[in-house]
Chains A and B, each alone.
Chain A
Amino acid sequence: MWTKKAASIVSMAVIIVLLGMATRNLLLVMLSLAALVYTTVSVFANTSTRLTADREMSQEKIFEDGTVKVELRILNQGGKTGFLEVRDKVPRTIQLKDGTNYTYLNLSPKGATRLKYTLKCPLKGVYKIGPITLRTHDPLNMFYKEKTVAFESDLTVFPQVRDVKELYIKSKQPKMYPGEMKVKMPGPGSEFFAIRDYMPGDPFRDINWKAYASTGKLLVNEHERLSVSDITILFDSRSSSRYGMDSDNANLYGARAAATLANFFLKRRDSVQMVVYSDKVLTIKKGTGQKQLFELLTALAGATPKGDIPLSGIVEVAIPYMPRQSPVIVISNLEEDDSIRKAVSMMMMLEFDVTIISPNSIEFEIMAKQKKGEKINAAAYDILRLEREILMQELRGYGVKVLDWKPATPLTQILLEARNY
C-alpha cells in the first residue's frame, strides 16, 4: 500500500516535472528525477513478512477502577520485518496504567517480542481488547503492509458495588422462609414493633414489665418479623440515560446503584430479579446467591444506552412475575417517557412498595457543558428542572418514594435518604 508520503512525493514529482517543462527549468527536472528514483527504490525496500500475534489477559471480569494485565506476543516467522509498528486496540474509555499497547521496532528473522501493559477500567461495560494491527514499512516510509490479527479478548467491567449497611426498603408480604429482611409484620425478630395484650402461651421474656407497672395489665412486646423477600429492580438503560459525559451519566450512576442494591439484598438472602430495558428487554429471573449477583452484574455491565421502550410496557410485562406487595425499585432518569405516571399508578394499585431512584440527567448535561466551556441556556434548564420537579411531586403523590440523585451526591447518601420516607 502507498503511504500518504509516497502519494505526495509522486504527485509533487509529476507537478514539478510539468512545471520544469513549462518553464524549461533544469533544476526542477532534476528534483523531479530524484523524487521518482527515490520512490522506485523504496518499492524494492518494502519487505514481505509473516507475523503472528496472540494476547493473554490476567482477568476477563473486573469491577470498575480495577486493573487487568495484558501480555501481547508477536512472533516473526519470516525474514526481516523492516520497520514494524504494533498496536493493540484498546477502547477509548479504558486507560493505560502502565506499559504500552503500541510499539515500533525492527524484528529479526524468527524473532519475537512481548508487549506488556496494564489497563485501568474506570467505567463499566463489555469491552473488546484488540484487534492487533501489525504494520511494516520500508525505511523511507513510502510503502506499507498492514495486517490485522482479528484476535479480540472480551473484558467485562462490572459496575462499582458500594457497601451499604442498612436500607429501609421493606416488604409487606412475607415469604415462608426466615431471613434478614424486616417485613412490617409482627413475628420472630429482634427489633421492637408494637405492644399487645398478653395471651396464654406468650414467652415470659416478652412481657413488658414497665408497661405492666404503669397500667396493671400484662402486655407483651412484639418484634418485627424478619423474612426473606423478593425484590424487583427495573433498570432504565434507554438512550436518554447517556446524557452527560462518558464518565458521568445516568446510565453509569444507575448501574452502580442497581449493583449496590442487588449486592445488599442478595447478601441479606433476599431473592432479586431485574429487568433492564433499552431497545430491548433483558430479564434476569429471581434468584439468590453469588451466581445471581454475577448474572445481575453482567447484565448491568452490558447495559448500553439505546432505544426508548416505555416503563409502562415493562411493568405490564413484568407484573405477573412480581410478588404482590413486594418492593420494586425503579432506577430511571425519568426523562423522555410519558408512561411513567401510568406505570407507577399501575404498581401502586397492586400495592407494590415502589421506590424510584432517579439520577438527574439535567445536571449531568449541565456539568458536561460546563466542562467543555459551552454556553448554558439558564432559562431552558430552569424550565426542565421545573418540569422534573412537578413530575417527581406527582409521583410522590401516588405514595412512591422518589429520590432525586444529583451528580454531586454520593450513592450511599442517596440510598440513606430512603429513611426519610
Chain B
Amino acid sequence: MAQYQEELDNLVPFEIGLQAGETMIMWALGMVFWLLSFVFMGFAVGWDFGGSFGPIMYVVGGIFLLSSQFVTRWNPLKTSGMPYTGVALWLLVVVFAAPILWKGWQVYSDSSMLVFMISYTVLAILITGGLLVSNFLTSLKILDWMSQDMATTLYAAGIISTLIGVTMVGFNNRALLSIDELTLGDWEIMYVFAMSYLFMMELHNGAHRFNDIIKYAKERATGEFSLTPVINNYYIMGFILMVIIGFGVQLVLVINFFIRWISPFISEQMANSVMMNSVYSVVYTIAMIFIPLWIVLIIWMEYRNRKEAKEEEEMRRKVERETRPGIY
C-alpha cells in the first residue's frame, strides 16, 4: 500500500468578506492616499494623461488594491498544487506591459506594428517557457514563488497595475522631461504624489500583515487576542517614521537642487548637459547619496550581526558551562 499522510489541515477555504475589523482604518486610509496620489499625478501632468490607458491602469490598480481586502488568504497552490495565482500574475504583467512596450516601440523605432507583435510574442513565449521549465524540470520553481494567496496576489497586481499606469502617463507627457523648467510647486506636487503612493503602499501592506497576524492568532488561539495596542503603536511610530522619510526625500531633492545650482561654477559644459537638466540629475543624486550610504550600512549591519551572534554564542557557552555536571 502507498504511504498516505493527512494534509487536510493545510486547506484554507476561499471566502469573500471584509478582513479583520482592526485593519479597516488602514485600508480606508490607504485608499484615501491612493486617491490623493492619483489626484496629484493629475496635477503633475496638468490633467493631460496623453491617452486613457495610463489612468485606466491606475484605476484598475486601485480596484485590485481595494478588492485585496475582501478575500481570504486562500492559496490555490497549497490547495490544489497548481500555481494559479502565479500564472494569473504573470499573464497580468504580460498583458499590461504590452501597451507600454508598444508605446516605447512607437517612440524609439520606425518598424511596423507587425514586427513589434512578432517580437513581443516571441519574448512572451520565451519568458513563459522559461518559467514553465523552471517549474517542471528544475528545483528553481519561480511560478511557485510568484504564487501567493489571493489577497497578496491582488495587492501585487494592484501595485504593478498602478506603476504601469504611472509609466504610461509619464510616457505621454514630454513636459516632465526638462526638469529645469519645473517650478517649485511642480516639484512639491510630485513629492506629495510620491509620498501619497508610499503611504498607500505602507498602509495596505500593514493591513495585510496585521490581518494575517489576527487571522493566524484567531485560528490558533481560543482565548482573547488583541492587537489594538500594537496597531496603535504602529500608527504613532509609522507616522513619526513617515515624517522622517518625508524630510529625507526633501533632503535628497535639496541636494539635487544644490548640485544643479553649483554645477555652472564647476563646469559650464556639465551645467548645460542633459545629465543635469533631466531626470538623470535626480538619478545621479540618488546614486551619489545612496550607493556610498548603503555600502557603509551593509558593512555596519554585517558587523553588528556578527557581534550579536558572537555575544549570543558566548552566552550559550557560558550557560552550558554553568549547567554541566561536575565530577565528584
Q: Which residues of A contact B (CB under 8 A)?
A: 5, 12, 16-17, 19-38, 40-43, 45, 48, 83, 85, 92, 96-106, 117, 138-141, 145, 147, 239-240, 242-247, 335-336, 361-362, 365, 368-369, 371-372, 384
Contact = CB atoms under 8 A, between A and B. Distances in A.
Contacts of B36: none
Residue from B190, B194, B297 whose CB has the most chain A CB atoms within 10 Å: B194
Query: Is chain A's interface secondary structure helix, strand, loop, or mixed overall?
Result: helix
B220 interface: yes
B3 A33 contact: no
B223 A26 contact: no
B123 interface: no
A25 B170 contact: yes
Given A35-B198, A96-B221, A335-B1, A30 B193 contact: yes
A208 to B, nearest CB: 57
A27 B190 contact: yes
Interface stretch (B69-77, B80-88, B124-132, B237-245): B237-245
Contacts of B238: 139-140
Contacts of A368: 4, 6
Given A16-B163, A371-B6, 17 more contacts: A17-B286, A22-B104, A25-B279, A26-B279, A31-B198, A32-B286, A33-B252, A38-B198, A40-B297, A43-B301, A83-B234, A100-B222, A104-B213, A138-B241, A139-B234, A247-B6, A369-B4
Given A30-B191, A104-B217, A246-B6, A96 B222 contact: yes
22 contacts: A17-B286, A24-B176, A25-B170, A25-B176, A26-B170, A27-B41, A27-B44, A28-B163, A31-B197, A33-B252, A33-B282, A36-B286, A40-B294, A43-B297, A43-B301, A96-B220, A105-B230, A117-B223, A139-B238, A369-B4, A372-B6, A372-B7
B179 interface: yes
B322 to A, nearest CB: 14
Query: Chain B, interface size: which category?
Result: 35 or more
Contacts of B167: 19, 23, 25, 28
B118 interface: no
Given A96-B221, A335-B1, A40 B279 contact: no
A104 B227 contact: yes
Given A33-B282, A34-B249, A104-B227, A242 B237 contact: no
Interface in B270-328: 278-280, 282-283, 286, 290, 293-294, 297, 301, 304, 308, 312
A311 B230 CA distance: 59
Contacts of A141: 205-206, 209
B218 to A, nearest CB: 9
Nearest to A361: B1
Interface in B181-224: 182, 190-191, 193-195, 197-198, 202, 205-206, 209, 213, 216-217, 220-223
B1 A41 contact: no
Contact of A41 (B44, B182, B241, B286): B241
Nearest to A384: B1
A372 B6 CA distance: 8
Residue of B193, B229, B283, B312 most packed against chain A (CB within 10 A): B283
Contacts of B266: none
B31 interface: no
A99 B163 contact: no
Contacts of A104: 213, 217, 227, 230
B216 A102 contact: yes
Contacts, number: 186
A139 B233 contact: yes
B99 interface: no
B200 to A, nearest CB: 11
Interface of B: 1-9, 41, 44, 104, 159, 163, 166-167, 169-171, 176-177, 179, 182, 190-191, 193-195, 197-198, 202, 205-206, 209, 213, 216-217, 220-223, 225, 227, 229-230, 233-234, 237-238, 241, 244-245, 248-249, 252-253, 278-280, 282-283, 286, 290, 293-294, 297, 301, 304, 308, 312
Nearest to B240: A139
Given A17-B286, A31-B197, A100 B4 contact: no
Contacts of A29: 279, 282-283, 286
Contacts of B41: 27
A365 B301 contact: no
A83 B230 contact: yes
B201 to A, nearest CB: 8
Contacts of B237: 45, 139
B181 to A, nearest CB: 11
B241 A40 contact: no
Contacts of B308: 48, 145
A26 B277 CA distance: 12
B166 A27 contact: yes
A245 B217 CA distance: 26
A109 to B, nearest CB: 15
A103 B227 CA distance: 9
A35 B200 CA distance: 12
Contacts of A145: 308
A368 B278 CA distance: 66
Contacts of B163: 12, 16, 28, 31
Given A23-B171, A30-B191, A106-B233, A99 B222 contact: yes
A220 B206 CA distance: 90
A336 B197 CA distance: 63
A242 B3 contact: yes
B171 A25 contact: yes
Contact of A100 (B169, B220, B245, B282): B220
A98 B279 contact: no
A17 B283 contact: yes
Contacts of B166: 25, 27-28, 31
A97 B170 contact: no
A5 B205 contact: yes
Given A25-B170, A147-B312, A40 B293 contact: yes
A22 B278 CA distance: 12
Contacts of A97: 222
Nearest to A336: B1
Contact of A37 (B7, B170, B225, B252): B252
B194 A34 contact: yes
4 nearest A-B pairs in the assembled complex, by CB-CB distance: A25-B170, A100-B221, A139-B237, A37-B248
B176 A27 contact: yes
A21 B293 CA distance: 21
B229 A21 contact: no
B42 to A, nearest CB: 11
